[in-house]
Structure 1
């Protein structure tokens, strides 16, 4: 059995590099340009990891050696064996994260694609509230806020892709325990699309950590 070492957002990044390679192979015939792109793709895939064994480094570098969509897809399928899944979470754990939410609507954990989830999120349509559960340093962080559809496309703060957006407004504690402030950002309306598109987590974590202070 393979030892997982690739997070969902890292897999998404590698997937984007694979798309870039295939696009180049379809449109470029200059061997020097192709060699440059292959080197770039390989370097980028390796560069998103802090520590790699020689075996894992060689596995990632294999991406640059393929020349057909079929071979690239087989390679991406192979990488899925190395995905680190989202930690198992129970309904009780989620409920504890949102003690003030009356009649909390829970996500369908049984149908959740743990391998391809960076952050668990769901919208309660009845209350127009977006809930987020994110694993961070061995524990789950939970935030909630109102999401208002903008009915237009733009760049999501979390995944940086052109998607249908909503304005996400979250209440935060101000300097005084009795006072509250708020913070907001434009994020995807589509939970699945955001998790499939996110390639780095710095902005997501920055927002979440600021929201729970």
Structure 2
């Protein structure tokens, strides 16, 4: 039985390193340089899983032996049974995360493949609001904010890829001592307009968790 151990963003790292290795095989003739690339890609993958068993480590290290497109495709497919799914969240749980939104429009959760999800996000065009759900320390966190499409490409602060962006701005729950009743602080950044693409590209959760922490604390 395959026990999952790879989160979506980690699988994206594996895919990215596989792409780097494939490109090196097509463009680099120097054996020493190729060997260096092989070592680098293998190291970046293995270092994400310091506590894996020897069997799983050997599976990850196989990237340094791959040569053909078919080899790389097979390598990536072999990890699919080991993907950790984004925790199941129900429509009722989502509604509880956003209690002030009585008419909250929730996406079709049954149509989402949770294996390839680091965070759940959707937009309500009628209100220009974006909603984000993430599990932090075993608890679901909901972040709501205004979004404004930029109608241009740039680098997303979550996945660091060049994609169509929107500006997402949420109100921080943190209030300074003795602040006035009217005080509020908006926390904003540019992220992918299409969260599906962002989830396909994200390789590090540090920026996501930092943003959420800034908003909720």
**SS at the partner of 1:51?**
coil
How far off is 1:102 after superposition? 3.1
Partner of 1:201: 205
Q: Which runs of 5+ in 1 are unaligned?
A: none
Q: Once superposed, what is the RMSD of the aligned Cα atoms? A: 1.1
1:141 aligns with 2:135: no
**Structure 1: how far apart are the matches of 2:71 and 2:24?**
15
Q: Counterpart of 2:79 in 1: which secondary structure?
A: helix
1:35 partnered with 2:39: no
The corresponding residue for 1:113 is 113
Whether 1:100 aligns to 2:100 is yes
Query: Unaligned regions of 5+ residues in structure 2, if any?
Result: none
Query: Aligned-pair distance for 1:53?
Result: 1.6
Distance 2:82 2:50 in 1: 16
Distance 1:172 1:82 in 2: 36
Q: Structure 2 residue aligned with 1:181, among 180, 185, 204?
A: 185
In 1, Cα distance between the equivalents of 2:78 and 2:23?
A: 21
TM-score, normalised to structure 1's length? 0.97
What SS does the corresponding residue of 1:132 show, helix, strand or coil?
A: strand
Q: CA deviation at 1:177?
A: 8.2
| More deviation, 29-38/6-15 | 29-38
**Per-residue deviation at 1:49?**
2.2
SS in 1 for 2:14: helix
In the alignment, the residues of structure 2 paired with residue 153 and residue 166 of structure 1 have an alpha-carbon distance, to the nearest angstrom, of 9
Alignment of 1:39-78 (within 5 A): 39-78=39-78
Worse-matched range after superposition: 25-34 or 82-91: 25-34
3-state SS of 1:180 partner: coil
For residue 24 of structure 2, give the secondary structure of its aligned residue in structure 1: helix
Cα distance change, pair 53–141 in 1 and its aligned pair in 2 (3 A): same
Residues in 1 aligned to 2:87 and 2:139: alpha-carbon distance in whole angstroms: 10
Change (3 A) 1:18 1:177: farther
SS of 1:45 mapped into structure 2: helix
CA distance in 2, matches of 1:49, 1:206: 22
Q: Provide TM-score, normalisation by structure 2.
A: 0.95
Question: Structure 1: which 4+ aligned runs deviate by more than 6 Å?
Answer: none
